[in-house]
Structure 1
Amino acid sequence: MNKIRPPRVTFHQLRTLEAVVRLGSITRAAGELHLTQPTVSAQIHELQSALDTALVEPAGRGIRPTEAARLLQETALDMFARWQRFEEDLQALHGLERGLLRIAGVTTTEYFIARWLRRYTDSHPGIEIELAVDNRDAVVRRLRQDETELAVMMMPPDNLPLQRVPLMRNPLVLIGPAGHPWAGARRVPRKSLDGQPMLMREAGSGTRLATEAYLRTHGLTPALRATLGSNEAIKHAVAAGLGLAVLSRHALAEDPAQDGVAVLPVAGFPIERRWLLVWRSDRRLSLAARRFVEHVQDHPPDADAASAGKGRAGDDRAG
C-alpha cells in the first residue's frame, strides 16, 4: 500500500483559494475572509509555488481562476466536508449536541418555521441556527450551491436529487377584499374566475406555480393585474380592492378580516398542498441536520397544528 503523503499546503491557503475561485476576485475574497488584499495575494502565490502551477491569470483589470484552480477548489471543498464529518463524528462519540443547523424556508414559512426551530432548540440547546427565509428561486439556489442543508418548501425543483419528508398541510385559498360579494355565498362556480382581476406572487414562487397549474388544468383565464413580491404586499393590495389572489392559509390571520380580506368559497378551493422538508440526497447531512430531521419526524407539525386548534393552518370550510 502506498504511503499517504501530507499536503504541502495549509487549510488557510485552501480556504483563501476557494473564496477567490468562488467569488472571482481577490478583493471580494479578502472582504469575505476579513483579510487584506496583499495577504490573499501572498497566500495564492505561496500555493502556486508549492504546486508549481498557475492558479490565477490576468483578465482585464482583475483575475480569472485557471482550470487548475477550479480543480483545487473542488478538492478543498471535499477536504472541508470530510473535516466537518470528523468533527461531527467526534461530537457524537462524546455525546455532545453542538453544531450548526443551516436551514432555509420559502417566504410563507416565516409564519411558522420559528416555532418548529424553538421546539428543536429546546431539545438541542447546543445547536446554533442559521435560518434564511427567501423566495423559492433563492432557496433552490442555496440548495444547489450547498449554502443550506435543509429547506422547507411546497414545490421542490425536479432537477436536483432530493430527499423529501412531508410535513404539514398547506391549503391555498382564494381571497378577496372584506365585503366582497362572493364572501357571503355558499358556493361560487369555478368559471366565475374567468376575467377576474388577479394578483400574483413573483415568477418562480411556489404559490404562483401551484395557482397557474390549477388555472391551466381547469381552463380558467383571469386577468393578471399585478405581480407582487411578498405575501404582505398581496394582502394589502387585495384589501385595497386591487384584485383577487391565492395565498397559503398560513399567511392569513385566524380571522382573515383582521387582514382586511375574506376567504372566497369558489369551487375547487382550497388547493391542497403540503409543506416538505427537503435536502440533497447526494450530500451527507451534518449531525445537527440529522437531528432536526429526526425531530420533525418524531413531532409532526400537523399534530401540533391540530392540538392548537384552528389557528393560521386551520381548515376553512369557506375556502
Structure 2
Amino acid sequence: MNLAQLRAFHAVANHPTFSAAAQALGVSQSAITQHVKSLEDAVGTRLFLRAASGVELTADALDLLPKVRQAILMLDDISARMSDGRALATGHLAIGLCAPYVAMPILQRFTAEHPGVQLDVRLENSSSLLELVAQHRVDIAIATLREPHPDFACDFVVAQRVEILVHAGHPWWNREQVEAHELPGQRLVTREAGSMTRHLFEAALAEHDLELPPHLTLGSREAVKEAVAAGIGIGIVLDQERGFDPRLKAIAISDVDIVAGEYLVTRRETRSLGSVAAFLAIAGEVARGKATNGHA
C-alpha cells in the first residue's frame, strides 16, 4: 500500500467515473485503474462497483474513505512541515460552496499561495454540503448556517442578511425597504427546499404568522435572479450574494431581521492537517480583513 494508491482511491471515491478521477489527479485512467486494483489486492476486498450511474462505493470503501483521507492529509502535513515555510508543494482539496461571492476571495488567495494544490470545487445548497462533509466527500464546506453545527468544526466568516429581490418594473423598485405584512400576495421565486436562504425566509415569516408559498422553484441562485429579472416574481437573496445586476434591486425587510452566518465547516479530526489547515488560515485572514474594512 502506498500514497499513489491512496490518492487514486480517494479520487475515484469523489468522482463519478475512473476517467474523471484520472483527470482530477492529472494522470492516465490506466494508472488509476492499476492503483485501485493494487489497493484492493492489498486490503483483500472489492472497493468499487461499476453501475450505469457511475462508480459506487462498497461498504468496505465507505469505511475506508475517512481513514484514507486523514492519512493523505497527515502525509501532506508532514511534507509541508519538513519544507521551508511549511509550503504545500502538492495536494488535493475538495471544497463545497453555496456562496461563490463569499468564497472567491479566499480561493484567489489560496491558489496564489499554494499553486501546487489542486482544488475540486462543487456548488450545492447548505443542507447538501453538510451531508458531503459528513460523508467525507468534501474536506471543507463554506455553508450558510443560523448557528454553528454541533457535529462539525465551524469557523465564522461573515454575516449574511436575507433581502427581497425585485425587477425594474416592480412597484417596489424605488423603495429601500418593505414590511413583512406586504409580502403575502406577491409571487415568490425561490430555491429548492434544501436552500438555507429559503429556510431562513420561511421561518421568519412563520414567526409573524405569515406565509408566502413559492410561485416558482428553481435549482440555482442564478436561475432565481434571471426569473426575477424577467418579471416572474420577487426573489430572496443573501446580501453578500446579490451581485451587481442593474436589472435587479435588493430591498430590506424593515421589521424582520433574517440573519445567518457563512461558516467554514470541517471535520474536527482533519482541520489541523495539510491543505485543510492552510485553507482555514487564509480564510481567517480574509475574514479579518473584511471585518477591518467594515464589510462583515
Shorter-chain TM-score category?
Answer: 0.7 to 0.9
Q: Is the 8 A contact 2:126 2:143 kept in 1?
A: yes
Q: Is the 8 A contact 2:147 2:261 kept in 1?
A: no
For the aligned residue pairs, the C-alpha RMSD in angstroms reads 4.3
- The structure-2 alpha-carbon separation of the partners of 1:306 and 1:188, relative to structure 1 and needing over 3 Å to count, comes to same
When normalised by structure 2's length, the TM-score is 0.74
- The structure-2 alpha-carbon separation of the partners of 1:155 and 1:101, relative to structure 1 and needing over 3 Å to count, comes to farther
Paired residue type of 1:86:
L
Q: Is the 8 A contact 1:104 1:131 kept in 2?
A: yes
Counterpart in the other structure of 1:267: 254
- The structure-2 alpha-carbon separation of the partners of 1:110 and 1:29, relative to structure 1 and needing over 3 Å to count, comes to closer
Paired residue type of 2:195:
S
Pairs within 5 Å for 1:8-157: 34-35=29-30, 70-71=59-60, 74=63, 78=67, 81-82=70-71, 84-95=73-84, 96-98=86-88, 99-100=90-91, 102-107=93-98, 109-155=99-145
Pairs within 5 Å for 1:170-319: 170-185=160-175, 188-254=178-244, 258=246, 260-268=247-255, 271-300=258-287, 303-304=289-290, 307=293
The runs of 5 or more residues in structure 1 that have no matched partner are 1-8, 59-64, 315-319
Q: Is the 8 A contact 2:159 2:261 kept in 1?
A: yes
| Alignment deviations for residues 258-312 of structure 1 (CA, whole Å, 9 cap, x no partner) | 0x123334323562222111111244543222122222323425x43774x8xxx
Q: Distance in 1 between matches of 2:119 and 2:39?
A: 33
Counterpart in the other structure of 1:62: none
> Which structure has the larger Rg?
1
Deviation at 1:137, TM superposition (A): 4.0
Q: Is the 8 A contact 2:165 2:250 kept in 1?
A: yes
Paired residue type of 1:262:
K
Q: Distance in 1 between matches of 2:242 and 2:82?
A: 45
Q: Distance in 2 between matches of 1:72 and 1:131?
A: 22
| Alignment deviations for residues 237-275 of structure 1 (CA, whole Å, 9 cap, x no partner) | 112221111111233234x5x0x1233343235622221
Q: Identify the range of structure 1 (199-208 vs 115-124) with the bigger mean alpha-carbon deviation.
A: 115-124
Q: Distance in 1 between matches of 2:266 and 2:33?
A: 39
Paired residue type of 1:106:
L
Q: Is the 8 A contact 2:191 2:217 kept in 1?
A: yes
Q: Distance in 2 between matches of 1:31 and 1:132?
A: 14
Q: Is the 8 A contact 1:171 1:248 kept in 2?
A: yes
SS at match of 1:300: helix
Q: Distance in 2 between matches of 1:204 and 1:169?
A: 20
Q: Distance in 1 between matches of 2:110 and 2:32?
A: 41
Q: Distance in 2 between matches of 1:100 and 1:41?
A: 18
SS at match of 1:219: coil
Q: Is the 8 A contact 2:143 2:262 kept in 1?
A: yes
Q: Does 1:168 align with 2:155?
A: no
Identity of aligned residues (%): 21
The runs of 5 or more residues in structure 2 that have no matched partner are 23-28, 50-55
Q: Is the 8 A contact 1:106 1:139 kept in 2?
A: yes
SS at match of 1:81: helix
Deviation at 1:93, TM superposition (A): 2.2
| Alignment deviations for residues 108-145 of structure 1 (CA, whole Å, 9 cap, x no partner) | x2224222222234444544433223333442232122
Paired residue type of 2:168:
A
Deviation at 1:92, TM superposition (A): 0.6
- The structure-2 alpha-carbon separation of the partners of 1:212 and 1:123, relative to structure 1 and needing over 3 Å to count, comes to same
Deviation at 1:97, TM superposition (A): 0.9
